Amino acid sequence: MFSLAAASPWSAAWLAGFGVCLSLIASIGAQNLYVLRQAVRGEHVRACVALCVACDALLVALGVAGMAQLLGSSPVLAQWLQWGGALFLLAYGLFAWQRALFAPDANQAATGGDRVARGVLGVLAGLAVITLLNPHVYLDTVLLIGSIGARQPGALKAVFVLGATCASLSWFVALAVTGRRLQHWFAQPRAWRVLDAFTGSTMLVLAWWVARSA
């Protein structure tokens, strides 16, 4: 049996990964709003959660393995990531406002603001683009979380990554459950317009903030 003293470093590493990751991903962003939207629509939710968790686990692991140091020592790469992310967030916000202002009510109610329902590959492709082109993903998971995890000694690095992965899974499952419980409210087209307007405004603010910091 393991003693409490022997288990303490492993528990501390897991809790560090869990706490740091949860504190950074539990915020309003393009990825979270995308998953929430799919949960409200009840469309490919499990696949979306699985992709988000897998991406977080991979990026944190890469950061712990050394990518954090690379990004930290390459300001030009970081700047290009920020400008690309700003343009993507701007386009995402404008499309959301286009749906809020011009999509017919029938389409809003039937398909959740999109003109046609998409297959699982289309949904995951959109989520992958939002996840991997968002500079905050690299700044948060690779640079910040990865640099903290890299300080863990030896095998505790893997325990740290496991803790971060558990935090990601907990957050996206909670987001999916929240979306499912809001489905009755989104039976009305006006609710989708409010969500699209909120999404568009959030993305435009984020685009301005990212461009300004770049």
Tell me the domain boundaries of the chain: 12-213
Reported as a single tens digit per residue, the pLDDT across 83-104 is: 777 787 788 788 888 877 877 6
Q: Which long-range contacts (CB under 8 A, 24 or more apart) does 168-172 make?
A: 168/21, 168/25, 168/52, 168/53, 168/56, 168/57, 169/49, 169/53, 170/22, 171/22, 171/25, 171/26, 172/35, 172/48, 172/49, 172/52, 172/53
pLDDT interval class at 170 (50, 70, 90): very high
- Which tokens is 166 given? 């558990």
Contacts with 190 (C-beta within 8 Å, 6 or more apart), sequence order: none
Cα distances from 188 to residues 13, 47, 105, 122, 155, in angstroms, run 46, 26, 9, 25, 51
pLDDT at 199 over 70: yes
Reported as a single tens digit per residue, the pLDDT across 112-146 is: 445 455 788 989 998 998 888 777 677 778 878 88
Q: Which range has the worst mean pLDDT, 49-58, 152-161, 166-175, 200-209?
A: 200-209
Cα distances from 19 to residues 11, 14, 165, 168, 188, in angstroms, run 12, 9, 11, 10, 37
pLDDT interval class at 150 (50, 70, 90): confident
Contacts with 8 (C-beta within 8 Å, 6 or more apart), sequence order: none
Are 149 and 19 in contact by the 8 Å Cβ rule? The answer is no
The whole-chain average pLDDT of the chain stands at 80
Q: Kindly give the residue spans of alpha helices, DSSP state H, lying in the chain.
A: 4-25, 30-41, 45-62, 68-72, 75-102, 105-111, 120-132, 135-137, 146-149, 156-181, 189-213
Q: pTM for this structure?
A: 0.74
Mean local confidence (pLDDT), 42-61? 93
Q: What is the DSSP letter of 150?
A: T
pLDDT interval class at 201 (50, 70, 90): confident
pLDDT interval class at 3 (50, 70, 90): very low
Are 48 and 123 in contact by the 8 Å Cβ rule? The answer is yes
CA-nearest of 158, 154, 131, 146 to 54 is 131
